[in-house]
Structure 1
Amino acid sequence: MSPYKNQTYSQKGYTLPELLIGMALGLLVIAAATAVYGTSKQTWHAMAAADAVHANARVALRNIHEQVHVAGAAYLKANNSNGNFTVEISLNEDAGQVALAGVNGNKSVESLTLGHWHALDTMDCQGNTGSTHAIVRSDYKLNTNKELSCKDLNLTNSTYQALAEGVEDFQLRYAEANPSTQTLQWKTANQVTDMGQVLAIEVCLRVASINTVHNTKSNSHLKGCQDEVLLSDGRVRRTFKRVVALRNREGVMP
């Protein structure tokens, strides 16, 4: 007789309570992982929205900054008459088309116009260089699509093109110099008595994300360009203020 025929084999498995406990623990792990994923996804969307807001503000402010720095600047004119070579310095700005102008009002009216000689820099706010006019005049304003737009006012066929999206408000202040008292006073465009005495411009943009981010929270410490409380509708909002000096306004202050 074979010695293996009398051996019995015992089989051991999981009991029903053990299976139920294991399934419950597995479901808890899955639920925790799902919650973490959802939170991470919302955080990523919030960070992406904030990054887009900052990127739009950077583009708009950099564009204005570049046009302000060439506004009212002179350029060198070379003359060669009968073998006599001379170099002259142009006027800082054209009396008929001044380097700085502005319109004060609500977000649909506020505008800023910056001018410079075409011979100094051929590029306008849109990046165009084909103008044949002596003066490049870049005008900035908001459009109805919440975009900061601009165009060269001297180009008859030019249309306003968007520079940055999500811009809800665009406000400006001007630092007007008083040479007699050697002081500066911040004013709106309608308060400025002489734009030729303005030495700096404060640009304020209130920018919102295009898409909503539902986990954003309101912050009472964050204010808009006109000191208004920012809306809390699920969008990321930031207010950006920059002061840019008109460095070509020499001789304004004694």
Structure 2
Amino acid sequence: MRRRQQHGGYTLIELMISIAIGLFIALGLSGIYFVAKRNFLDQDSLGATLENQRFVFTVLTDQVQTAGYYPEPMSNNSTLAFPAAANFAVGSFLFGSGNATAANDSLTIRYQARAADNLSSCTGSKHNAAAAATYSSRFEVNSSQQLICTDSDNRQSVISEDVAGFKVLYLADTDGDAAPDRYLYASSVTTAGLWASIHAVQISYRKIDREKSRGNNLVYLPMTFKKTIALRNQA
């Protein structure tokens, strides 16, 4: 008598368990993928932010250290090179606005240049005048949270996006002994008449985290960028 051949197979319960295990593994792998992708995007964003921070301070350092420069120092001096103009007193080449409670400060510098000096404005424009001419650069944050620079020809350049809390402190010689001794906000420098006695500026700012911000509820990145820049052309 021939035996009936037995065919093995999966029961419905076994199939459901197999599917459940497969889904669990797939969800786990998906979670790992999304976490890895998020970490990659965060690192990429941080890298871009740090690269922009280096660019911001490169531009600011270049301009601040150019402040007060003038050609032909043997036949020229700061009083002749920088007469009184707008907010600048005679001989001064630095001016700012802001105080402890201001949302953002501003910083303006001026200097002289000619084509032979091979200098550029904060917008990248070369100074090609044959004879020495006076130029200025103004740094401030506009209503779109952009850190911008405006040069003497009213050209503007965006230095950084999503900037808040752009603050400037000025290292001043407050007792006239030729040694800087105190950091002051611009309003205090103006009140004390110390714009000709500034030896360095300390600039700081924060960046807005656009992904986490909602409407007017701004969220900031958890770091403040800061740099102290010494003036080269201060007597």
User: With structure 2 as the length reference, what TM-score do the two structures score?
Assistant: 0.78
Aligned-partner Cα distance in 2 for 1:121–1:151: 19
Q: Tell me the secondary structure at the aligned position of residue 110 of structure 2.
A: strand
Does the 8 Å contact 2:95/2:107 carry over to 1? yes
Q: Unpaired segments of 5 or more residues in structure 2?
A: 86-91
Which residue of structure 1 lines up, in the alignment, with residue 98 of structure 2? Answer: 104
1:174-196 deviations in whole A, cap 9, x for unaligned? 00023438451100112122212
Does the 8 Å contact 1:213/1:236 carry over to 2? no
Quick check: 1:124 aligned with 2:111? no
Which residue of structure 1 lines up, in the alignment, with residue 89 of structure 2? Answer: none
User: With structure 1 as the length reference, what TM-score do the two structures score?
Assistant: 0.73
How many residue pairs are counted as aligned between the two chains?
Answer: 216
Aligned-partner Cα distance in 2 for 1:48–1:243: 27
Quick check: 1:168 aligned with 2:155? no
Which residue of structure 2 lines up, in the alignment, with residue 236 of structure 1? Answer: 221
Does the 8 Å contact 2:180/2:199 carry over to 1? no
Quick check: 1:197 aligned with 2:193? no
Which residue of structure 2 lines up, in the alignment, with residue 228 of structure 1? Answer: none
Shift of 1:8: 6.0
Which residue of structure 2 lines up, in the alignment, with residue 66 of structure 1? Answer: 62
Residue identity opposite 1:145 in structure 2:
S
Aligned-partner Cα distance in 2 for 1:213–1:170: 19
Aligned-partner Cα distance in 1 for 2:64–2:118: 12
Larger Rg: 1
Higher RCO (CA 8 Å, separation ≥ 6 residues): 1
Shift of 1:89: 5.8
Quick check: 1:151 aligned with 2:150? yes
Does the 8 Å contact 1:49/1:211 carry over to 2? no
Distance 1:213 1:17, change over 3 A: farther
- Select between 122-131 and 62-71 the one with higher mean Cα deviation: 122-131
Residue identity opposite 1:115 in structure 2:
R
Residue identity opposite 2:186 in structure 1:
A
1:90-126 deviations in whole A, cap 9, x for unaligned? 4357231632111124235x21111222123431000
Q: Tell me the secondary structure at the aligned position of residue 9 of structure 2.
A: coil
Does the 8 Å contact 1:56/1:165 carry over to 2? no
Does the 8 Å contact 1:42/1:213 carry over to 2? no
Aligned-partner Cα distance in 2 for 1:173–1:74: 24
Aligned-partner Cα distance in 1 for 2:93–2:149: 16
Q: CA RMSD in A?
A: 3.0
Which residue of structure 1 lines up, in the alignment, with residue 88 of structure 2? Answer: none
Distance 1:122 1:180, change over 3 A: closer
Q: Tell me the secondary structure at the aligned position of residue 236 of structure 1.
A: strand
Does the 8 Å contact 2:123/2:149 carry over to 1? yes
Aligned-partner Cα distance in 2 for 1:211–1:48: 14
Which residue of structure 1 lines up, in the alignment, with residue 82 of structure 2? Answer: 95
Q: Unpaired segments of 5 or more residues in structure 1?
A: 78-87, 215-230
Aligned-partner Cα distance in 1 for 2:217–2:143: 21
Q: Tell me the secondary structure at the aligned position of residue 168 of structure 2.
A: strand
Higher helix share: 2
Distance 1:206 1:236, change over 3 A: closer
Aligned-partner Cα distance in 1 for 2:32–2:213: 17
Which residue of structure 2 lines up, in the alignment, with residue 208 of structure 1? Answer: 208
Does the 8 Å contact 2:71/2:113 carry over to 1? no
Distance 1:63 1:181, change over 3 A: closer
Instruction: State the percentage of identical aligned residues.
Output: 22
Quick check: 1:187 aligned with 2:172? no
Quick check: 1:11 aligned with 2:10? no
